A and B are shown apart, each in its own frame.
Chain A
Amino acid sequence: MSQQSAFARARRDLTITRRGLMTSAVGTAGALLLAACSSGGSDGGSSAKVTSGPVKLTTAKLAISWWGADDRTTKTLAALKLYTQKHPQITFQPSYGGIVGYQDKMVTQFSGGNGPDLMQVSDRLPFIANDQLLDLDPYIKAGRIDLSGANQATLDSQRVGGKLYTIPWGLSANCFFYNKALFQQAGVAEPKNGWTWDDYADTLEKLSDGLPDGVYPSEDIWAPAGTTAWQPFQLYLFSKGIKPYKSGGKELNFGKAELSEWLSFWQGLLKKGYLPPASDTAEENAIQTSPFVKRTAALYPINSSIATSLQGLMKDELGVVTLPTGYQSKQNLPAKEFGEYINAPIIIGANAKTQYPDDVVDVINFLITNPDANKITLMSRGVPLTQAITKLVTPLVTPIERAMTQMIDYVQAHATKNTQAFPDTDGQIGTLMQNTSQSVAFGKQSVSAAVSDFFSQAQTILASGS
């Protein structure tokens, strides 16, 4: 009824003229423009004299942000509540959610001068390059953040220009998770930390014989929700003693030979049917849709911090091992050393412009080093930074988290010192590497064509960097 009258009204109003059309079209087109906001100048973090000894905390409400699944959020909220119980003058304004769009949100908030007092980040570089983060070194020297018992190499990998702006909030590394039930079903021995690319290829061959049709031995290295293609390749370069970049990030430091060798290795495995077809891999847009979780692949290259969530999605018991290395590998991707290191994609940093630096530093110290806080948060962000805390919480965690701890121990003991701070264009090179790997996997390009495209496009990207 009202439907009828609405149509009737529309009919009456619909006397279209040329001018009317013109105005509405122009108006619509104008509305699509990108909105952007400009930022004020930044003063940079001033490193005033920091005193040691007990500090009187100011009354404050601190804004804190992080991303993560429900489990991590619940535990973090509980730890913050504990802090407020111990220091009633300090309360929190937490903000949390999924990882998608998190970094964009942080950058946008800082751009508008509204960054939180402290936050979890994955990539500190854009903030550091623009003086947005508090230099934590003076506070560490004054003993206000107690990092004794933390692996020095891991901490040093966080330094930019010699300064420590961020601290790993849980340790993690690239690794392979594997499905113990599928290994058992195929009658194949489980892999061990420090295994080589030769071992990996052998394991895949054996799994391929033992697994039923439609179940592949491993996911491809560019699995979209996994490590994606660029990080494992960088570790491979490190193991060969090659840093990915030179000239301050303006040029690539590796040659076509290394990239060809890498891509050919993966193409070979795919052709033998050890990896799912490219379109199956491309279908993955989150761990939930990965062949590994769908139980059509037995191995999954991904960052270890996902352990708890990944196990939570599956009935089969999972195991975890280091990413294979070229060290002592004879046929596949041979290299000089182990190559892997703690990549710490979950780090904590503070806003250089916070009004309450003393409070913020105390909260960081609490979250990283307080036993009671860590008994609550456990391994929801990976393995704790210091040995004492790790020892304390290990009896309280699940089997997969214990396996993750062993894996991290192995990596810390063998970690390469050959790492490098990445340029701000590293993310774009990562996307390019991802497309290059897909292009070969989908059979759109030969390895040699894909490699030469990679090098010419990488050059353009790096030249555009600051």
Chain B
Amino acid sequence: MTAVESEPRRAVATAARPRRRVRRQHGDNLAGYLFLIPWLIGVVVFVAGPTLASLYLSFTNFNLLSAPRWVGLQNYIQLFTVDPRYLHSIVVTVIYVVFSVPLSLIAALVLALLLNAKIKGVGIYRSIYYVPSLLGGSVAIAILWRQIFDSNGIFSKLLQLFGLPATSWISSPGLAIWTLIFLHIWQFGSPMVIFLAGLKQIPAELYEAASTEGASKWRQLRSITLPLLTPIVFFNLILTLINSFQAFTPAYVVSSGTGGPLDSTLFYTLYLYINGFTNFRMGYASAQGWVLLIVVGVFTAIAFITSRYWVYYEDSEKR
């Protein structure tokens, strides 16, 4: 009896529940969008608007003070045909990216593996190792870097202990870029945290199974940890790659805004800044900005295309 009676009521209840959920979801969405509004306004006014404006400006001659004058593709043509400093800035940036990206990822991964160990007070270690990336992008650290690597700096003193001559790493054209690469590697904190989170996600059963089968730690790393970590490696790769292409502050501070000595630290973005705000060629600088956007886009696309051959996703096991 009761079962029969209750039947329609349950039917009503089940029919009504989804509808209520849908309405609540819409309400949630609305609230979500409301919360997003400040951010959206920021994006439209301070990112999308200027971005579009810079696209227009990249086809003009614009010195900031007088109205922009349309010149068509001239800025883009000039960049690649008659500006040796521009081509040089690309070489400097590529060297920086090629070395700093893999090296900083390796550093982050190695530290993440070490800090994944179950030891006492590991949380404190993790916090300590994260500190450099909180400081690393700042002007203060770039100034400190100058001190460490100049001819009277700690680093030079250290080399002297081993009988090497005192050199100023900051002011030698062949060496200055390496101090900046090293600065980038030192900021391993945020990829390290992401690697750590990824390591925690790998099921412990896999390792248990592997050890019972007699696999060594090294074999476990190669056959379990690394393959399962590839999505995280990929994510970190994309972030670090974009980040490195955009590097500006350390080069600006270390070279006092000149890209010196002898343009050896003339990063792409630094040359862009010099053109825009020192030479007052804002149209030319905008063209540089757009070329960079395209280049970063291409590199990111390459990373995505190659990823299907080396990134292993748990949700797509069929491949």
- Residues of A that sit less than 8 Å from B by CB: 1, 3-4, 7-8, 10-11, 14, 16-18, 21-22, 24-26, 28-39, 41-42, 100-101, 104, 107-108, 110-111, 126-127, 129-130, 132, 224, 278-283, 285-286, 289, 424-425, 427-428, 431, 434-435, 438-439, 442, 444, 457, 460, 463-464, 466
Shortest C-beta distance, A454 to chain B (Å), equals 12
Which listed residue (B46, B83, B261) contacts A442, Cβ 8 A?
A: B261
Q: Is the beta-carbon distance between A280 and B54 smaller than 8 angstroms?
A: no
A36-B285, A438-B260 are known; give 18 further A-B pairs, CB within 8 A: A1-B123, A8-B200, A21-B238, A24-B238, A29-B300, A32-B242, A35-B53, A38-B68, A39-B66, A104-B277, A126-B63, A127-B65, A130-B63, A281-B171, A283-B170, A428-B279, A438-B173, A464-B281
B6 lies within 8 A of chain A by Cβ: no
Contact B289–A34 (Cβ < 8 Å): yes
B197 located at the interface, meaning its Cβ lies under 8 Å from any Cβ of chain A in the complex: yes
Q: Quick check: B64 and A3 within 8 Å, CB to CB?
A: no
Question: Could you give 19 example pairs across A and B, Cβ below 8 Å?
Answer: A3-B126, A7-B193, A7-B200, A8-B200, A10-B197, A28-B239, A30-B51, A30-B293, A32-B269, A32-B289, A33-B289, A36-B57, A100-B256, A107-B65, A127-B65, A129-B66, A289-B150, A438-B262, A460-B82
Q: What total count of A-B pairs have CB within 8 Å? A: 193
Contact B280 A283, beta carbon cutoff 8 Å: no
CA distance A442 to B311 in the complex (A): 46
Please, how many residues of chain B have a CB less than 8 angstroms from a CB on the other chain?
Answer: 79
Q: B48 — nearest CB in chain A belongs to which residue? A: A30
In the bound assembly, the distance between CA atoms of A8 and B123 in angstroms comes to 12
- Which residue in chain B gives the minimum CB-CB distance to A110? B65
Known pairs A279-B261, A439-B262; A36 contacts B53 (CB<8 A) = yes
A126: which of B65, B288, B293, B296 is its contact (CB, 8 Å)? Answer: B65
Please measure, in the bound complex, the distance between the C-alpha atom of A413 and the C-alpha atom of B241, giving whole angstroms: 60
List, in ascending order, chain B residues with CB within 8 A of A278's CB.
Answer: 261
The complex places the Cα of A279 from the Cα of B150 at a distance, in Å, of 10
Q: Are B242 and A282 in contact (CB under 8 A)?
A: no
Q: Given A29-B293, A428-B279, check contact A282 B63 (CB 8 Å).
A: no
A21-B238, A33-B47, A130-B63 are known contacts. Are A427 and B232 too (CB-CB below 8 A)?
no
Is B127 on the interface with A (CB-CB < 8 A)? yes
Q: Mark B253-275, 1 if CB is under 8 A from A, else 0.
A: 00111101111000001001000
Pick from A24, A33, A282, A285: contact of B50, CB below 8 A.
A33
| Structural contact, B54 and A33, CB atoms closer than 8 A | yes
Please tell me which one of the listed residues B235, B245, B290 contacts residue A16 in the complex, with CB atoms under 8 A apart. B235
Q: Judge whether B47 and A31 touch: CB under 8 Å.
A: yes
Q: Nearest chain B CB to A190's CB is how many angstroms away?
A: 29
Complex-state Cα separation, A100 to B253, whole angstroms = 11
Partner of A32, one of B63, B68, B82, B246: B246
* In-complex Cβ contact of B168 among A7, A132, A282 (8 A): A282
Q: B89 an interface residue at 8 Å Cβ cutoff?
A: no
The answer to whether B232 and A16 touch across the interface, beta carbons within 8 angstroms, is yes
For B304, give the chain A residue with the smallest CB separation.
A22
**Chain A residues whose C-beta falls within 8 Å of the C-beta of B65 in the assembled complex:** 39, 42, 107, 110-111, 126-127, 129-130, 132
* B93 on interface, CB distance cutoff 8 Å: no
The smallest C-beta distance from B303 to any residue of chain A, in angstroms, reads 8
What are the residues of chain B within 8 A of A224 when measuring CB–CB? 256, 258, 260
Per-residue A-contact encoding for B55-81, CB less than 8 Å = 1, 0 else: 001000111111110000000001000
The chain B residues found within 8 Å of chain A, CB to CB, are 46-47, 50-51, 53-54, 57, 61-68, 78, 82-85, 123, 126-127, 146, 150-151, 167-168, 170-173, 193-194, 196-198, 200-201, 231-232, 234-235, 238-239, 242, 245-246, 255-258, 260-263, 269, 272, 276-282, 284-286, 288-290, 292-293, 296-297, 300, 304, 313, 315
- Give Cα distance in the complex from A81 to B315, angstroms: 72
Interface centre among A14, A32, A444 (most CB of B within 10 A): A32
CB pair A280 B293 closer than 8 Å: no
* Residue of A whose beta carbon sits closest to that of B51: A33
Chain B residues near A21 (CB-CB < 8 A): 234-235, 238, 304
Q: A20 to B297, alpha carbons, bound, how many Å?
A: 16
Q: How many angstroms from the CA of A460 to the CA of B246 in the assembled complex?
A: 27
B296 nearest in chain A by CB position: A29
Q: Please, how many angstroms separate the alpha-carbon atoms of A18 and B319 in the complex? A: 15
Q: A36-B53, A36-B54 are in contact. Are A286 and B256 (CB under 8 A)?
A: yes
- Within 8 Å CB of A104, what residues of B? 277-278
Contact B83 A34 (CB under 8 A): no
Complex alpha-carbon distance, A21 and B263, angstroms: 35
Known contacts A280-B168, A427-B278; A29/B297 CB under 8 A: yes
Closest to A460 in B: B82
A435 to B256, Cβ gap below 8 A?
no
Tell me if B286 and A34 are in contact (CB < 8 A).
Answer: yes
* Contact present for A36 and B50 (CB under 8 Å): yes
Chain A residues within an 8 Å CB radius of B258: 224, 431, 434
Residues B261 and A108 in contact, CB atoms below 8 Å apart: no
B263 in contact with A435 (CB, 8 Å)? yes
Which 7 pairs across A and B sit closest by C-beta, in order of nearness? A282-B171, A35-B50, A130-B65, A34-B289, A282-B261, A3-B123, A285-B256
Q: Are A108 and B64 in contact (CB under 8 A)?
A: yes
* Contacts known (A16-B235, A224-B258, A438-B262); A283 close to B171, Cβ less than 8 A: yes
How far is the CB of B61 from the nearest CB of chain A, in Å? Answer: 7
Q: Which residues of A contact B78 (CB under 8 A)?
A: 464
Identify B84's interface contact among A282, A289, A444, A457, CB under 8 A.
Answer: A457
Inter-subunit contact A39/B246 (CB<8 Å): no
Please give, as numbers and ranges, the residues of chain A lying within 8 Å of B196 by CB-CB distance: 7
Contact B242 A126 (CB under 8 A): no
> Do A427 and B279 contact each other (CB < 8 Å), given the known contacts A16-B232, A30-B47?
yes
Please report the C-alpha to C-alpha distance between residue A460 and residue B84 in the assembled complex, in whole angstroms.
10
Separation of A126 and B54 alpha carbons in the complex (Å): 21
Known A-B contacts A4-B123, A11-B200, A127-B65; the reply to A29 vs B242 at CB < 8 A is yes
Once bound together, how far apart are the Cα atoms of A35 and B200, in whole Å?
40
CB-based contact B200/A34 at 8 Å: no
Q: Report chain B residues within 8 Å CB of A129.
A: 65-66
Chain A: CB-nearest residue to B290: A33
Minimum C-beta distance from A369 to chain B (A): 30
A275: min CB distance to chain B, Å: 15
Contact in complex: B53, A38 (CB < 8 Å): yes
Residue contact B54 to A11, C-beta cutoff 8 Å: no
Tell which of A1, A36, A435 touches B286, judged by Cβ atoms closer than 8 Å: A36
CA distance A14 to B201 in the complex (A): 8
User: In the bound complex, do residue B262 and residue A14 qualify as a contact, i.e. CB atoms below 8 Å apart?
Assistant: no
Complex CA gap A108/B278 in Å reads 11
- Which residues of B are found within 8 Å of A32, using beta-carbon distances? 242, 245-246, 269, 289, 292-293, 296
| Known contacts A25-B300, A460-B82, A41 near B67 by CB under 8 Å | yes
| Chain B residues near A31 (CB-CB < 8 A) | 47
Task: Identify the closest chain A residue to B287 (Cβ).
Answer: A34
Q: Which residues from B are CB-within-8-Å of A107?
A: 64-65, 277, 280
